[in-house]
Amino acid sequence: MAISKELTQAETKAGGPGVMEKIVSLSKRRGFVYQSSEIYGGLNGCWDYGPLGVELLKNVKDQWWRAMTYREDVEGIDASILMHPRVWEASGHVENFTDPMVDCRECKARFRADQIEDAPCGSPAYKGRKASKCQAEGKFTEARQFNLMFKTLVGPVEDQSAVVYLRPETAQGIFVNFLNVQTSSRQKLPFGIAQIGKAFRNEINTKNFLFRTREFEQMEMQFFVRQGVDVEWFEYWKEERMKWFTGLGLRKERLQFHRHEPDKLAHYAKDAFDIEYQFPFGWGEIEGIHNRSDYDLSRHEQFSGKSMKYFDDETKEKIIPYIIETSAGASRSFMAFLVDAYREEEAPTAEGATDVRTVLRFHPRLAPIKAAVFPLVNRDGMPELARNIEAMLRPHFRVFYDGSGAVGRRYRRQDEVGTPFCITVDSQTLSDRTVTVRDRDSMVQERISIDNLLRYLLEKLAA
């Protein structure tokens, strides 16, 4: 049996870049994530997903969509990014969606006033210096509030009446459609509405790769309930959402709940927990679960002048429901899955020696490529047979054909992008129509008949 030993963070760091730098570098080299507009020097806070990244992100979103909407009590929608500007007055974003900002009078760098502790000084002349030192020396301006919403204009006239915002969260598209969805789908309380989509925030400081960006995707679900059962539904969704992350392979010891202190609650929240993941740079929120009370629907009723009340045809009552929100970042979840999957392990080579392999241990449902197919050598009809196998598998999931280099190198290349299964056509295949299937994590190889291969892989991928 093949053996591998995961190296500790300290071991992988020894003499080289930290694990986060390695993940960013692997992401670029293997086509997960590139800097946006890189040939022009990049655009801060924006990233592009490459061929493998877009597949991984799509798999994360698909898994979320299945978990959240393939149930009787949740409907999906896809609302527009641009909305009526009054939406953002009703939501409280025009008034409250601000961060305190300070400027350095000397180097002109801008900082979030509440995050100076972690920030480096903005001047290249002071390498290694902390921004807090500059603050202590009195170089910073007074803090002023900065609204994080991006503004743009609709139509050709550039005046205040044409101002609209790029949505800073997908949630409002759900609230304003609450009655449309409820009546068209004939849902009764309790029920939810789910949405995946882009959100934009003009963050003062972007940082930590995909963690804090200016353009990102959210996966949000708003669950509408009667007041009085809100606390029990809040508990239910907290547990469900944690199970979703662990069910897709995130290590339990790297996940925790963090409860917001009453004085730190958002203006709309009655109670709030974050699901936090332990990134190499520390614990960070990947999802928020909020009890939003009846704040949102009441505010939209007030600002639009339209009733947002739910009519209960059994009790004949009209009520504004409470809302339990689950709000995950697709981009932050992507990053948590990528970081969690990243391992450097001691592993035996084909020659019986030991080397270090980099492997992304993605859950098979998230892996961008599900199986790779190799001919052992490029002769004796092996490439043709391998191509036939590739063609047989391709309609069912994403496969990759690789006929170049030593087979051990080909395994390593697939390990590095997290492909769970590598199938090799060898000389035995020519006589008995069996192939080897190598498992990414155990590196153990099994011989499987070509006729049973598809069923075997589908069962493993569904497990």
Q: Which residues bind ligand GAP (CB under 6 A)?
A: 169, 171, 201, 203, 212-213, 216, 218, 220, 285-288, 325, 327-329, 331-332
We find the least distance from the C-beta atom of residue 344 to ligand GAP, in angstroms, to be: 27
Whose Cβ is closer to ligand GAP: residue 63's or residue 218's?
Answer: 218
We find the least distance from the C-beta atom of residue 298 to ligand GAP, in angstroms, to be: 17
We find the least distance from the C-beta atom of residue 325 to ligand GAP, in angstroms, to be: 6
Distance (Å, whole) CA 197 – CA 192: 17
Q: Is 18 helix (H, G, I), strand (E, B) or coil?
A: coil
Whose Cβ is closer to ligand GAP: residue 207's or residue 413's?
Answer: 207
We find the least distance from the C-beta atom of residue 151 to ligand GAP, in angstroms, to be: 17
Whose Cβ is closer to ligand GAP: residue 192's or residue 288's?
Answer: 288
We find the least distance from the C-beta atom of residue 63 to ligand GAP, in angstroms, to be: 16
The alpha carbons of the chain give a radius of gyration, in whole angstroms, of: 26
Residue 293 vs residues 133, 167, 267, 325, 416: alpha-carbon distances, Å: 42, 22, 11, 10, 45
Whose Cβ is closer to ligand GAP: residue 293's or residue 327's?
Answer: 327
We find the least distance from the C-beta atom of residue 193 to ligand GAP, in angstroms, to be: 13
Residue 370 vs residues 29, 388, 415, 460: alpha-carbon distances, Å: 20, 17, 11, 10
Whose Cβ is closer to ligand GAP: residue 45's or residue 418's?
Answer: 45
Query: Which residue's C-beta sits nearest to ligand GAP?
Result: 329
DSSP secondary structure, 239-293, as one string: HHHHHHHHHTT--GGGEEEEEPPGGG--TT-SEEEEEEEEETTEEEEEEEEEE-T
Question: Which has the closest alpha carbon to 71: 163, 167, 187?
Answer: 187
Inter-axis angle of helices 51-69 and 230-247, nearest 10: 140
Whose Cβ is closer to ligand GAP: residue 286's or residue 347's?
Answer: 286
H or E segment to which residue 300 belongs: helix 295-304
We find the least distance from the C-beta atom of residue 19 to ligand GAP, in angstroms, to be: 20
425 burial type by CB count under 10 A (0-12 exposed, 13-18 middle, 19+ buried): buried
Whose Cβ is closer to ligand GAP: residue 75's or residue 217's?
Answer: 217
Whose Cβ is closer to ligand GAP: residue 201's or residue 365's?
Answer: 201
We find the least distance from the C-beta atom of residue 150 to ligand GAP, in angstroms, to be: 12
- Are the CB atoms for 452 and 460 separated by under 8 Å? no
- Are the CB atoms for 136 and 129 separated by under 8 Å? no
229 burial type by CB count under 10 A (0-12 exposed, 13-18 middle, 19+ buried): middle
Phi, psi for residue 123 in degrees, rounded to 5? -95, 130
Whose Cβ is closer to ligand GAP: residue 46's or residue 107's?
Answer: 46
Question: Which has the closest alpha carbon to 461: 383, 397, 413?
Answer: 397
We find the least distance from the C-beta atom of residue 286 to ligand GAP, in angstroms, to be: 5
- Are the CB atoms for 407 and 437 separated by under 8 Å? no
